[in-house]
């Protein structure tokens, strides 16, 4: 694991993209440490059954944040990090579409995930491209 700075502009773009993807998941991950945020973010009672599930969901978002942060400094984890992040974002967008694209808090989440597809695409291409044969 190397934390030394890279001079390659593409590497800088990829690291920044991982930072954006991690940042996108920070707020929902904070629910794990501050369950009262469930009310503010989702309009759900944190003590109810759905609130408890949303707090557990926050642990999964924390996983995405940690994986994205790790991918910033260690290129060897980027393929797996891409899969974890893509599953999180794309699955929500598909579920949101299947639900009829409801307004409210879910729409805000969908817009954020939709915007996140651009940096996700960048990191996916970088992680899965085949090395050039020299």
pLDDT at residue 63, rounded to an integer: 97
3-class SS letters over the chain: CCCCCCCCHHHHHHHHHHHHHHHHHHHHHHCCCCCCHHHHHHCCCCCCHHHHHHHHHHHHHHHHHHHHHHHHHCHHHHHHHHHHHHHHHHHHHHHHHHCCCCCCHHHHHHHHHHHHHHHHHHHHHHHHCCCCCC
Q: What pLDDT shows up at residue 4?
A: 56
- Give just the sign of the alpha carbon dihedral 41, 113, 12, 66: positive
pLDDT of residue 134: 43
What string of pLDDT tens digits covers the 134 residues of the chain? Answer: 555 555 689 999 999 999 999 999 999 999 999 999 999 888 899 999 999 999 999 999 999 999 999 999 999 999 999 999 999 999 999 999 999 999 988 899 999 999 999 999 999 999 998 665 44
């Amino acid at each position: 694991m190397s934390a030394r700075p890279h001079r390659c502009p593409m590497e800088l773009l990829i690291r920044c993209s991982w930072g954006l993807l991690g940042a996108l998941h920070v707020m929902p991950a904070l629910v794990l440490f501050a369950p009262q945020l469930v009310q503010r973010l989702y309009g759900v009672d944190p003590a109810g059954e759905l609130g408890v599930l949303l707090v557990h969901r926050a642990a999964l978002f924390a996983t995405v944040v940690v994986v994205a942060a790790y991918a910033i400094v260690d290129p060897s984890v980027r393929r797996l990090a891409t899969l974890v992040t893509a599953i999180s974002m794309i699955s929500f967008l598909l579920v949101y579409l299947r639900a009829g694209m409801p307004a409210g808090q879910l729409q805000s989440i969908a817009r954020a995930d939709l915007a996140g597809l651009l940096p996700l695409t960048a990191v996916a291409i970088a992680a899965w491209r085949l090395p050039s044969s020299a």
